[in-house]
Amino acid sequence: MGLLFRSRQPAPLPEHLDLSLGDRTVPVRLRANARARRYTLRVGRAGGEPVVTIPAGGSLGGARSFLERNRLWLKRRLEARPEATPFAAGETIPFRGASHVIRHVPARRGTVLVEGGPDGPCLCVCGGEEHLSRRLVDWLKREAKGDLDRAVFRYSTMIGRKPTVIRLRDQKGRWGSCSSAGTLSFSWRLILAPPMVLDYLAAHEVTHLAEMNHSPRFWRLLRRICPDTDRAEAWLKAHGSSLHAYGVADAG
């Protein structure tokens, strides 16, 4: 009678590894990807966990060794990352590029009111405190949609091309996109940036309706309809990542 041998299944990966970085311990999320060819380490937005991608054939031990080799890099990246700022009463956030203090005004009617205050402009959020962050996010998205709709209409008229639909997302890797079907998608967080930045992103994606590339023709057309292109690009490069630090736990 023959013997039956069962192949040993690899132990399931834990969800996290704890990595000691000097005076603190950082949880690092593990993600297996059968299509990945090598280990990678990504540091996302403020408040988010670092993520190690484990390739096909990788192991928990390999992930530990990879993290040890990249310990100093991870420490520096986390220290350089802006601190997360929740949408809560007393916090200060940018709105159209200007600092605004969040105030909770439970007795007022409405959703969010923009008012002046002794310490500068305020975003006064009405209703119950348990709904403050959600109300503020929803209001910011509506403001972003209105500004983007107007900017897209203006630039679409200039080049004679109209989108099929305009959508808002909380995109991590890009501020805007244009599909081959004419769908324009934007990050609602552009409402936090100076108006010229939101305006530039609208012009950028509208230009893709005529030039679905980043060829010299694309940039010539974009700079013709949006003279602030270079200034807005420089602002995004210097400050864009900071926009992801606001309302991290509440934004969707």
Show me where the domains of the chain are located: 16-80, 92-245
Q: In this predicted structure, what is the pLDDT of residue 251? A: 47
Pull the structure tokens for residue 204.
């950028």
Residues 6+ apart with CB under 8 A from 9: none
CATH architecture, range 92-245: 2-Layer Sandwich (3.30)
The 10s digit of each residue's pLDDT in 9-63 is: 566 788 888 888 887 888 899 999 999 999 999 887 666 788 999 998 899 999 9
Instruction: Report how far apart, in Å, the C-alpha atoms of 137 and of each of 108, 144, 145 are.
Output: 18, 10, 12
Q: In this predicted structure, what is the pLDDT of residue 77? A: 82
pLDDT class of 76 with cuts at 50, 70, 90? confident
Region 113-117: mean pLDDT is 90
Q: Which helix (H) or strand (E) holds 158?
A: helix 132-159
What pTM was estimated for this model as a whole?
0.75
Instruction: Report how far apart, in Å, the C-alpha atoms of 77 and of each of 45, 80, 150 are.
Output: 11, 5, 37
Task: Look at strands 51-54 and 24-32 and give their pairing.
Answer: parallel
> Considering only CA atoms, which of 94, 67, 64, 80 is closest in space to residue 191?
94
